[in-house]
Amino acid sequence: MKKQKKFKKDKGKKQRMEAGKKIKKKSKNDKENITPSVAKGIAQKLQEEGAQLTPEIVLRKKKYERGPAPKLTGMSDKKLKGQLQEKEKLYGEAAVTAAQAEQWLLPSEGGYLEAEDLEQTKNFTQQAIVKEVDITSARKAFDLQLEDLAPYTLDYNNNGKYLLIGGRKGHLAIMDWKQSKLIMETQVTETVRDVKFLHNELFFAVAQKKYTFIYDKQGVEIHCLRDHLSTLKLEFLPHHFLLASVDKAGILRYQDTSTGQLVGFIRSQLGRCGVMRMNPYNSVIGLGHNNGTVTMWSPNMQNPLVSMLCHKGPVTAIAYDSEGRHMVTAGIDGKVKIWDARKFSPLHFYFAPTAAKSLDISQRGLLAMSSGSGIQIWRDALTEKQSKPYMMHRVPKGAQVQDIAFCPYEDVMAIGHGKGVSSILVPGAGEPNFDSYVSNPYQTLKQRREAEVHKLLDKLQPEMIVLDPEEIGAVQKSAKEIQQTKGLQANEANAAIAEKLGLPVKTPKEKKKTKGRSKASKRLRRKESNIITIKRALIAEQVKGASKSQSKDKDTPEVPLPRALQRFKGPGILYLCRSITKFGWNWVMFLDYASRSITSLETYWANGCPYIDSADFELRLEGSVK
Amino acid sequence: MKVKVIARSEEEFTRERRQDLQKVFRNLDPKLHQQEKAVEYTRALNAAKLDKVFAKPFLGAISGHRDGVSSMAKNPRRLNCLLSGSMDGEIRLWDLPKRHMISQYPGHSGAVRGLSVAPDGDHFVSCGDDCTIRLWELPPAVIATREDDEAQEPIATFQGKNAFRSIDYHWSSDIFATGGARVDVWDPNRSEPIHTFSWGSDTIVSVRFNPAEPDILATTGSNRSIALYDLRLNTPLRKLIMQTRPNSVAWNPREAFNFTVGSEDCNCYSYDMRILKTATCIHKGHVSAVMDLDYSPTGREFVTGSYDRTVRIFAYNGGHSREIYHTKRMQRVFCVKFSSDASYVISGSDDTNIRLWKSKASEQLGILLPREKKKHAYLESVKERYKHLPEIKRIDRYRHLPKPVYKAGKLRQTVYDADKKREDRKRAHSAPGSVPHTSARKKRIVAVVE
């Protein structure tokens, strides 16, 4: 189950370039996504086969499908094949039923904000929005002026009914914010750095000056977690009942809140760390460090699962989207970068007005970033690079924003800042339809109790925190098996290449299995047997040809090349180069050495060029293109 | 400007009155159900553990016989009664839910070897070592009220020349077949058998009519044979000779061309009556001779009783048992029956007791609410989905066994491995092709005679 991936930036930009290529490829694949016309075609085809599907349902059912079906052609085990076919049929049917039931199950529609004529949504003020909406929604926008004990950090509970606020100077309060009802208020007379609800609104954890404390809904101190010293940031893993904290020394601790055991004690060894966020897709904790790296952790390993250099300069905030597809990081360098959270590759980035201090992604994928006293909200900003924000907001009186949080299942965002707490309306932020068995904003006492029992029964073990949660229950191939398939593939590739080139096909000799010690030399030979070797002949031939043609060209006097290009020697070959200027632009040049000219030059930016390397051209050989 | 924000009115999402049910809203979007695989796995693991916690299969022992229970019969018309015959010649009728005797039928002077109830459910026949067959009357349907201990008299007695080992009533018409020195088919109105079949000179130990093609019957004999007869023909159909003696035979009631025999070599063998040259499945597990077996009315599983003092439940196509039942006091099991509603298993053993077991060890008895049913079905399906994962497999497969049974099982495995190794070596050192591979399903078959 353990998997370790380490990506180091300093290994070279080649990796980044490759990542960029992969993304381009991916965008090509995206064309395969079903368009309405294609859906109509599919639906017609299915209807001919007897299924009752409208194009709408074909479009909708995609969401409910659990990945592509396994390839069954060529499977020798008929029984297994039958079983798998039956399973796939069931999955398909389930997806269709879910899609068909949508109109009854999902009655509410999401919010929206649309501009008319020459208006722009980003110019709409809160006052204007509040004026337009109904009276109960208008009441959801409010300002709490709590200047004395500010700045505030905040947290919503899982169904969004309660808001927990923690003032820097010791003020803690829980409120039923929709009804403007104060549930609890207390003063701990100690610095409060972070607050976090545990599995429901009954308990919450507070990172105080020295220790971390757990309080109940009445504000009574339940536990003092003496293990969690001078915590800067808290996070709660709801499926695992783990409270994660990171402290001034960069130590990440996991405490099981159902059993009370400390299940993880990890030194990140990257110094003070105050940026932490859980990826809800796989419950992996992401930490942002002062050296610009983001590391991802599970309690099972002392080393990070992933370590990636994201910013030049300290990371100030991280956010994950709810499906675990994107990670957003903000750095002191003023950039907000969007990453593919599964491939760990950069997608694009935005400039924040000043360094963004906090980030949050709503349930429907709105990205909010705060810098100074301003807040920008971007729509569809994760999948595609947007040119302008969706909404902008400025906290009154120029107070500095400390923390922002989208409310689940509501079109509301809370802002904790230097003058108190504000709540603003963000149309289109929340998921309009809740699932009563996941989190119910109208939960009754009995339902809450039952839900708590069920959560405890379904509690996941900390060992199950892995990068890819789909791995659970999947087949793990043994090392031997992998080695064998690799060997077979290599043999096939060798044979194919040899056939293409007209070289004699070498069939690997059957090894005689004899007992005895494996010599180092034999081991080496065995290792090499899996490598595609026949290409070497091709390369050697090419080199030979190249040297011959070079000798022919000797008569013509050689024109000295610019020094930067002297690396790329080889006639008639186009080189793919890349340069980075101080503006953060990327160029791809195709140079023809024979004519000594640039055949094509493509410029693009904001794709995989996170920071400036040097003022001059820096050229790198990426490989030859025929 | 066009704007809309989520606005829910509380009335729409909560109940109106206290008596109403709470409203439930579902959103099946995978985005809201994160880590569903891990959660499902955890549920499957917990379900497997809970199954172990609730596994209390033994419901009770019914005592009363003065000697070991040698045969049992269930009434095809009634769920709640059971007939049992013992080694001392006594037959008793039991009320299963109340677990007490309704009436007794003395008369046989030797062990009662076979019992069978007529399809109308009003009569039954018994046969025994005293060379007699007796026809008895069963009390009427409302038997729970009748509690007379007075001895019943047989309606008719049929005298044979040799001891009878087995008896089975026809599924639809009023005839029955007995096995002994030969196979006899009797009409209760006549004193002599209407048909007689014999093939070879050995004793027939069990006879069973086919439930779907009722004129066909299968027998097993002590000359290691399984024979098929058709009442419409004068000669037997086919005979299969195995290496060890099959002790009993049972037809699969749902796929009536399949039957299973319990053999002296500790295994059960399933056959297709159309293709006798190979077994369709070998059911392994017992460590001593299988004495009796009976199919569940669903045809998906069958129960076996063995000389090794355990009762096992096998899937109709399962190579190993799904369940093993044993108690400290249960001795060699001579007869087993699956109840007609497939939810209980009844075993009769040498220690004079009849034992009642649940067919699913952890099943919740009684009437289930629809929600409970749904919950059980869900847990069953997640368990099925993740059954291959090591932790769940380990918990699900583990059965505590009495030490002698466990040791004997180990020993059998060792012997099997050694045999296999020996054969492999023999093959390796012989001329290629001279020691052919034989499938285990064919290995135990000596001959098929038409």
Predicted confidence (pLDDT) per residue in B28-51, tens digit: 998 999 999 999 999 999 999 999
CB A278 within 8 A of CB A284: yes
- Say if the Cβ atoms of A108 and B1 lie within 8 Å: no
Does the pLDDT of residue A90 top 80, yes or no? yes
Does the pLDDT of residue A4 top 50, yes or no? no
What is the band of A575 on the pLDDT scale with cuts at 50, 70, 90? very low
Lowest mean pLDDT of A95-99, A209-213, A221-225, name the range.
Answer: A95-99
Nearest to A435 among B2, B23, B26 (CB): B26
- Say if the Cβ atoms of A239 and B4 lie within 8 Å: no
What is the band of B428 on the pLDDT scale with cuts at 50, 70, 90? very high
Each residue of B207-249: pLDDT tens digit? 999 999 989 999 999 999 999 999 998 888 999 999 999 999 9
Nearest to B2 among A114, A137, A438 (CB): A114
User: Nearest CA to CA, how far is A121 from chain B (Å)?
Assistant: 8
- Cα A250 to Cα A151, A241, A588: the distances in Å are 23, 22, 40
- Residues A149 and B208: their CA atoms lie apart, in Å, by 89
Does the pLDDT of residue A546 top 80, yes or no? no
Q: Which residues of A touch B10 (CB under 8 A)?
A: 442
Does the pLDDT of residue A278 top 70, yes or no? yes
- Say if the Cβ atoms of A460 and B42 lie within 8 Å: yes
Element (H, E) at A586: strand A585-592
Q: What is the pLDDT of residue A610?
A: 38
Nearest to B386 among A116, A239, A473 (CB): A473
What is the band of B89 on the pLDDT scale with cuts at 50, 70, 90? very high
Element (H, E) at A598: strand A597-605
Does the pLDDT of residue A212 top 90, yes or no? yes
- Residues A109 and A99: their CA atoms lie apart, in Å, by 16
Q: Which residues of A touch B34 (CB under 8 A)?
A: 239, 280-281, 322, 324
Chain B residues whose C-beta is within 8 A of a chain A C-beta are 1-10, 13-14, 22-35, 37-39, 41-43, 46, 385-386, 389
The superfamily (CATH) of domain A125-449 is YVTN repeat-like/Quinoprotein amine dehydrogenase (2.130.10.10)
How confident is the model over A170-174, as a mean pLDDT?
Answer: 96
CB A180 within 8 A of CB A140: no
Kindly list the domain boundaries of chain A, sorted by start residue: 2-105, 125-449, 562-625
Q: Which residues of B touch A281 (CB under 8 A)?
A: 34-35
Q: What is the pLDDT of residue A131?
A: 94
- Residues B323 and B286: their CA atoms lie apart, in Å, by 11
Nearest residue in chain A measured CA to CA from B6: A111
- Say if the Cβ atoms of B25 and A441 lie within 8 Å: no
A75-A80-A82 Cα angle (round to 5): 90
CB B87 within 8 A of CB B68: yes
Q: Is A138 on the interface with B (CB under 8 A)?
A: no
Mean pLDDT score across all residues of chain B = 92
User: Nearest CA to CA, how far is A307 from chain B (Å)?
Assistant: 23
Q: Which residues of B touch A136 (CB under 8 A)?
A: 7, 9
Q: SS in 3 state form for chain B?
A: CEEECCCCCHHHHCCCCCCCCCCCCCCCCCCCCCCHHHHHHHHHHHHHHHHHHCCCCEEEEECCCCCCEEEEEECCCCCCEEEEEECCCCEEEEECCCCEEEEEECCCCCCEEEEEECCCCCEEEEEECCCEEEEEECCCCCCCCCCCCCECCCCEEEECCCCCCEEEECCCCCCEEEECCCEEEECCCCCCCCEEECCCCCCEEEEEECCCCCCEEEEEECCCEEEEEECCCCCCCEEEEECCCEEEEEECCCCCCEEEEEECCCCEEEEECCECCCCCEEEECCCCCEEEEEECCCCCEEEEEECCCCEEEEECCCCEEEEEECCCCCCCEEEEEECCCCCEEEEEECCCCEEEEECCCCCCCCCCCHHHHHHHHHHHHHHHHCCCCHHHHHHHHCCCCCHHHHHHHHHHHHHHHHHHHHHHHHHHCCCCCCCCCCCHHHHCEEEEEC
- Residues B165 and B110: their CA atoms lie apart, in Å, by 11
pTM for the structure as a whole: 0.80
- Say if the Cβ atoms of A124 and B1 lie within 8 Å: yes
Give the residue from B35, B39, B389 with the most A CB atoms within 10 Å of its CB, the best one to mutate. B35
CB A212 within 8 A of CB A205: yes
- Say if the Cβ atoms of A114 and B1 lie within 8 Å: yes
Q: What is the pLDDT of residue B111?
A: 95
- Say if the Cβ atoms of B2 and A444 lie within 8 Å: no
What is the band of A66 on the pLDDT scale with cuts at 50, 70, 90? confident
Does the pLDDT of residue A20 top 60, yes or no? no
Q: What is the pLDDT of residue A545?
A: 73
CB A493 within 8 A of CB A486: no
Each residue of A401-448: pLDDT tens digit? 999 999 999 999 999 999 999 999 999 999 999 999 999 999 999 999
Q: Is A576 on the interface with B (CB under 8 A)?
A: no
What is the band of A11 on the pLDDT scale with cuts at 50, 70, 90? very low
Q: Which residues of A touch B319 (CB under 8 A)?
A: none
CB A353 within 8 A of CB A361: no
Nearest to A460 among B13, B25, B39 (CB): B39
Q: What is the pLDDT of residue A19?
A: 40
Q: Show Cβ contacts of residue A211 under 8 Å, excluding neighbours closer than 6 positions.
A: A224, A225, A226, A228, A229
Q: What is the pLDDT of residue A33?
A: 54
Nearest to A442 among B7, B13, B39 (CB): B13
Residue, of A397 and A544, whose pLDDT is higher = A397
Q: What is the pLDDT of residue A596?
A: 54
**Torsion region of A546: left, alpha or beta (phi above 0 gives left; psi -120 to 50 gives alpha):** alpha
User: Nearest CA to CA, how far is B385 from chain A (Å)?
Assistant: 9
Give the residue from B2, B3, B281 with the most A CB atoms within 10 Å of its CB, the best one to mutate. B3
User: Nearest CA to CA, how far is A131 from chain B (Å)?
Assistant: 10
What is the band of A577 on the pLDDT scale with cuts at 50, 70, 90? very low
Following DSSP, what letter does each residue of A120-175 receive, concatenated?
-GGG--HHHHHHHS-HHHHTT-EEEE-GGG--EEEEE-TTSSEEEEEETTSEEEEE
Does the pLDDT of residue A582 top 80, yes or no? no
Q: What is the pLDDT of residue B57?
A: 95
Q: What is the pLDDT of residue A534?
A: 56
Both tokens assigned to B319: 């190579």
Each residue of B99-153: pLDDT tens digit? 888 889 998 999 999 999 999 999 999 999 999 999 999 988 655 555 556 678 8
Does the pLDDT of residue A286 top 50, yes or no? yes
Q: What is the pLDDT of residue A75?
A: 87
Q: What is the pLDDT of residue A350?
A: 95
Both tokens assigned to B86: 């013992």
Q: What is the pLDDT of residue B362?
A: 93
Q: What is the pLDDT of residue B140?
A: 81
CB B383 within 8 A of CB B395: no
A187 has which bridge partners?
A171
Which of helix, strand or coil describes residue A28?
Answer: helix
- Residues A313 and A317: their CA atoms lie apart, in Å, by 12
Considering chain B, what percentage of its residues have pLDDT values greater than 70?
A: 98
